[in-house]
């Protein structure tokens, strides 16, 4: 141990060492698949990997971190990560020179931390068995940055899982891992799922399947307005308060309980799986036809369309908001933004 309590190990100085080369090879897909390991780089990703490692070990499960590498300067800048390492959050910690970290890293400007981690994906059966309320499905999303953005948005919205079809980008690609900014370690990932039968399995799990489609017949605003109408007790089939004109029961057609283009069964507050398609082609027609609804995010300006990562963020937050907000009773205060919801961890 060092004077400040950090694990002591020989300083790594040789950029050509076998261990350095083994770590660096994980930037390539063949090595990742063969070893079922990947790289987490930078303080945020390594911090979240170490936290998950400790959490799993405390639960009697196998951890996710195989080894961690850091420069002395990085440990000085991030004492919280040093504390996690001291707590046994990595079976191996090796201090290395900046040159060695650069040789291991896939980035042009390494940030002083690299961790080798085991794959963290889970079977689809495990996700469905947990009765998820909000799931993001990436259908042939090929761009690492977009995939990482959607994983991060799903994490931020409190989603229960992210599913990537077989033709989607590898989420363990270093670019994707970096763009998740640690969210990869926060929620279950399901990989390599074939489209055939997926929608039926999601529906069988009690979820509405919503296809994010810029040309969809259903407008996301309408779904949100209908949710708002249900919260305040207006909409078709509602009785007007005593003494009021019955016509006042539905003040705005956009707040109707039945949204144009649906049969009224699509409700954002109910368990939902959102489908997000390829950056260039969008979702295949057979997928949009099998979904319960094709939902468009309205564009109010002059942009032709939204980036898939941005559209996914808007859709996931719309569902998350609807699922978190409950109708206040006579003695109930409105929910705090910090109150836990059904999808919180």
Neighbours of 93 (CB within 10 A): 21
For 267-292, how does the pLDDT look when each residue is reduced to its tens digit (9 = 90+)?
999 999 999 999 888 999 999 999 99
Residue with tokens 């949204």: 259
For 128-146, how does the pLDDT look when each residue is reduced to its tens digit (9 = 90+)?
999 999 999 999 999 999 9
Work out the angle at residue 213's Cα, subtended by the Cα atoms of residues 209 and 217, and round it to the nearest 5 degrees: 85
Q: Is the separation of the CB atoms in 266 and 293 below 8 Å?
A: yes
For 203-214, how does the pLDDT look when each residue is reduced to its tens digit (9 = 90+)?
999 999 999 998
> What pLDDT is recorded for position 90?
67
**Residue 64 to residues 30, 138, 210, 228, 282: CA-CA distances in angstroms?**
20, 24, 33, 42, 34
Q: Is 295 helix (H, G, I), strand (E, B) or coil?
A: strand
Contacts of residue 224, defined as CB under 8 A and 6 or more positions apart, other chains included, come to 268, 318, 321, 322
Residue with tokens 């206040």: 328
What is the DSSP secondary structure assignment for residue 26, as one 8-state letter?
Answer: T
**pLDDT class for 38, splitting at 50, 70, 90?**
very high
Q: Are strands 208-212 and 293-296 parallel, antiparallel or unpaired?
A: parallel
Q: Is the separation of the CB atoms in 134 and 159 below 8 Å?
A: yes
Higher pLDDT, 90 or 184: 184
Average pLDDT over residues 86-100: 84
How many alpha carbons fall within 13 Å on the CB side of residue 133?
Answer: 19
Q: Is the separation of the CB atoms in 210 and 222 below 8 Å?
A: no
For 244-253, how does the pLDDT look when each residue is reduced to its tens digit (9 = 90+)?
444 444 444 4
Average pLDDT over residues 245-262: 47
pLDDT above 70 covers a percentage of the chain that reads: 82
| Token duo for residue 95 | 């201090």
For 95-110, how does the pLDDT look when each residue is reduced to its tens digit (9 = 90+)?
999 999 999 998 888 8
| Token duo for residue 32 | 């990742």
Residue 256 clears pLDDT 50, i.e. is over it? no
Contacts of residue 148, defined as CB under 8 A and 6 or more positions apart, other chains included, come to 171, 175, 176, 177, 178, 179, 180, 181
Mean pLDDT rounded to a whole number for the chain: 85
Range 244-273 burial, b when 16+ CB lie within 10 A, else e: eeeeebbeeeebbbebebbeeebbbbebbb
**pLDDT class for 258, splitting at 50, 70, 90?**
low
Identify the H or E element spanning 135.
strand 134-138
For 145-199, how does the pLDDT look when each residue is reduced to its tens digit (9 = 90+)?
999 999 999 999 999 999 999 889 999 999 999 999 999 999 999 999 988 899 9
Residue 302 clears pLDDT 50, i.e. is over it? yes
Residue 115 clears pLDDT 90, i.e. is over it? yes
> What pLDDT is recorded for position 263?
55
Contacts of residue 120, defined as CB under 8 A and 6 or more positions apart, other chains included, come to 52, 64, 184, 185, 189
For 310-321, how does the pLDDT look when each residue is reduced to its tens digit (9 = 90+)?
999 999 999 999
Q: Is the separation of the CB atoms in 77 and 146 below 8 Å?
A: no
pLDDT above 90 covers a percentage of the chain that reads: 68
- Beta-sheet strand order (sheet of 37-41): 37-41, 113-118, 65-70, 93-95
| Intra-chain end-to-end CA distance of the chain, in Å | 35
> What pLDDT is recorded for position 332?
39
**pLDDT class for 230, splitting at 50, 70, 90?**
confident
The span from the CA of 31 to the CA of 34, in Å, is 5
**pLDDT class for 328, splitting at 50, 70, 90?**
very low
Range 301-332 burial, b when 16+ CB lie within 10 A, else e: eeeeebebbbbbbebbebbbebbbbeeeeeee
> Rounded to two decimals, what is the model's pTM?
0.83
Residue 255 clears pLDDT 50, i.e. is over it? no
């Amino acid at each position: 141990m060092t004077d400040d309590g950090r694990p002591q190990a020989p300083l790594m100085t040789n950029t050509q060492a076998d261990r350095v080369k083994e770590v660096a090879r994980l930037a390539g897909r063949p090595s990742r698949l063969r070893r079922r390991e990947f790289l987490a780089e930078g303080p945020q990703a390594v911090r979240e990997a170490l936290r998950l490692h400790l959490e799993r070990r405390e639960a009697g499960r196998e951890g996710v971190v195989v080894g961690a590498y850091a420069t002395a300067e990085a440990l000085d800048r991030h004492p919280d990560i040093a504390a996690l390492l001291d707590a046994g959050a990595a079976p191996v910690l090796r201090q290395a020179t900046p040159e060695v970290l650069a040789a291991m890293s896939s980035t042009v400007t390494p940030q002083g931390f690299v961790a080798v981690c085991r794959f963290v994906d889970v079977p689809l059966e495990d996700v469905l068995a947990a009765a998820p309320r909000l799931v993001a499905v990436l259908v042939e999303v090929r761009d690492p940055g977009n995939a990482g953005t959607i994983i991060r948005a799903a994490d931020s919205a409190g989603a229960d899982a992210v599913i990537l079809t077989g033709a989607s980008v590898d989420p363990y690609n270093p670019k994707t891992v970096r763009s998740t900014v640690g969210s990869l370690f926060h929620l279950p990932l399901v990989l390599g799922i074939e489209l055939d039968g997926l929608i039926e399995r999601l529906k069988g799990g009690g979820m509405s399947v919503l296809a994010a489609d810029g040309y969809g017949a259903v407008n996301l605003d309408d779904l949100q307005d209908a949710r708002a109408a249900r919260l305040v007790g207006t909409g078709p089939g509602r009785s007007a308060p005593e003494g009021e004109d019955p016509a006042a029961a539905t003040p705005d057609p956009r707040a109707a309980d039945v949204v144009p283009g649906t049969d009224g069964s699509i409700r954002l507050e109910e368990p939902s799986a959102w489908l997000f398609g390829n950056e260039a082609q969008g979702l295949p027609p057979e997928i949009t036809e099998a979904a319960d609804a094709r939902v468009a995010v309205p564009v109010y300006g002059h942009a032709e369309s939204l980036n898939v990562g941005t559209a996914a963020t808007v859709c996931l937050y719309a569902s998350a908001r609807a699922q978190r907000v409950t109708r206040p009773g006579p003695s109930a205060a409105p929910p705090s933004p910090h109150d836990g919801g059904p999808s919180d961890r």
